[in-house]
Structure formats: C-alpha cells, structure tokens
Amino acid sequence: MSHSDGDTAQHGLLGAWASAGLSHAPPLQWLTHPCAGAGGDCKHCLLGTTMFQRGRSEFVKVGRKETFWGTSHQGGYSHDAVVYALQKCGIRHIDTAKRYGCESLLQKAIKESDVKREDLWITTKLWHSDYGYENTKQACLESCKRLGVQYLDLYLVHWPDAQVPGKSNREVRAETWRAMEDLYEKGICRSIGVSNFLIGHLEQLKEDCKITPHVNQAEYHPFQRPQELVDYCRSRNIVFEGYCPLAKGEALTHPNIIQLAKKYGKTPAQICIRWSIQNGIVTIPKSTKVERIRENCEVFDFSLGEEDLEFLNSLNVNKKLVHLTYPLWKG
C-alpha cells in the first residue's frame, strides 16, 4: 500500500432492491450499518487493504457516504497500519485480493486487532489464473482459509480478460460466474461482484447468467470518471466502487486541486476522496502510513460546494492508469 491509492456495487438502497424485483439481493447485513440512524456521516468507513468503514445508513448507499482502505500488489503491506486502522480508526471493511498476496497476513492483523468477525466486511477477489467453474470454487475456499474465515462478505471476479487458451473470454466469464452464483447460493459468499468490467462484459453476463453482480469495482478519480459505466451500473442496481481515487498520486500535485485544498483547509487527498464520495461512489483509498490512514478518514466534516464539485468533474480526460489487456478502456 502507498499513500497514492487502493484498488463494492448496487445502485441504491434496500428499497431499490425491492423495487427492482431482485430475488438475489444482498443480505440485510450488507445494507445496514451498526451506526444506522446516527446523524451525519460516519468516519468509520475508510481503510484501504481495501478496508471499508461502515457509515451511518444503508451499505448499498455506501457509495454516497463512505470510503474504503485498500491493499494492492503495489506499494507494500503494513501489519501495523492494518491493526491501527481497525483499532484506532474504526474501519471495518477490508478489501483485498489473492493477487495482492496478503490474505494470510491480514488474518494475523485481524486476530491482533480483536475485532469480531461478525463486525467486519471482508472482500477479496478471484484472479484470472483461477477462472473456470471448479477452479473458482476451490480458489474461494483457499482465500477463506488464508483469511481465516468461514465466509466472505463480498467476492469479486478481478478482471474481465480470462486468458484461457481455446476458450473465448465470454465463455470463461460465464462459466466462472456460474460458480460464483453457486458460492453465493451456498452462503460461502454473501455477495458477489466483478471488478474492471465494462458495459459490454456486464451485458454478456446478463444474457449468460441469472444473478446480477452486486458490485462493479473500477478505476475512478478526477482524471478518469467513467460516468457512462457508473450510470449503467446504477440503472441495473449494481453498486459502483471506485479505486485509485488519488490517481496514483498524480492528483496530489495538480495545481487546481492544491488550490481547493487550501480553500477548504484540507489536503489534496481529502479533496479527491470527498469529491468521489459526493459523486456517489464507494471510494477506496489506501496507505501503509498511519498518519495517511487517519487523514483519509477525516473527510466527513466538510462538503465541497456545487461549483467546486463540477470543476473537479471537468478535469476528466479519460486517463486510465490501470490498463486492461482486453478490451481497450472506454470511459
């Protein structure tokens, strides 16, 4: 993890699930926070292997109220940072992945933190080397073992590109998603979703499978704001989660963002995170430094004005910093 960034998915509230007539809505635990009903925003929704602090209202509404703390395969891992985030910042959502190589390390940090399993929201991801029906189920169980848990709150298919010789990407994605559906129906995964999927991929899943992904996680920052994808996800009750909110650190040195930080008495990182939250995005910053973790959490005591929000929106240039092998990103 680094100060720069970290790597959940239905569009709205519990009522949105009901009004959409969805038979595979996430469990109530996914929809309500322990501090539901409290006034104002809750700071307990920022962590970053991706850890997510739970906010004051529905979890599905999380994109509008909260952020995560995320781990990744770049920037290292800090045991002390994870324990600090759990014990001192009240963060309760951990978002990680097999690819990041720290699932077993997280088990140790969670144990040391003394936070109860039922109070945590744990997300991990399936890497493409494990795609396919049987491989997916086995990989999920192995992730659970490394994390020291009996179930996952959210399991994501990490990439749309399958890279399986002799099979089309669509065929492998459909086969993999059927295994995800089985894991969900058996309760091993309480919610299932995808990461880095574009509209075309989601359309294919709709045709090939029965359960709509609960989440789509993709890159989202001032220079890469894929609003078409966000709108599509919301239209299908898929929660959109945004990783890389600081644009791998590039946003921290942008002169206009620095100017806004001075105006609000905040840091550039806090401006970017708050902008993402106010755009209704479940936001995932990450860091290995305790002071940065604390900083990333302190974004619920101010709001950006509408003019400043729109200005930051205007910075979008479809600048992808995390590149898919296939297809080319369309913002």
The catalytically annotated residue of 77, 84, 100, 220 is: 100
Spatial distance between the Cα atoms of 27 and 194, rounded to a whole number of angstroms: 18
Q: Which of 204, 199, 283, 208 is nearest to 234 (CA)?
A: 199
Query: CA 159, 120, 268 angle in degrees (round to 5)?
Result: 65
Annotated catalytic, 100? Answer: yes
Give the DSSP letter string of 72-85: -SSS---HHHHHHH
**Helices in the chain by DSSP H: which ranges?**
14-19, 28-31, 62-65, 79-88, 103-113, 133-147, 169-185, 199-208, 227-235, 255-264, 268-278, 290-297, 306-313
Give the DSSP letter string of 173-242: HHHHHHHHHHHHHTTSBSSEEEES--HHHHHHHHHH-SS--SEEEEE-BTTB--HHHHHHHHHTT-EEEE
Query: CA 212, 215, 216 angle in degrees (round to 5)?
Result: 105
Q: Which residue is associated with the tokens 């490394």?
A: 146
Burial class from Cβ neighbours inside 10 Å (0-12, 13-18, 19+) for residue 208 reads middle
- Going by the DSSP 8-state scheme, the letter that residue 98 receives in this structure is G
Active site residues: 100
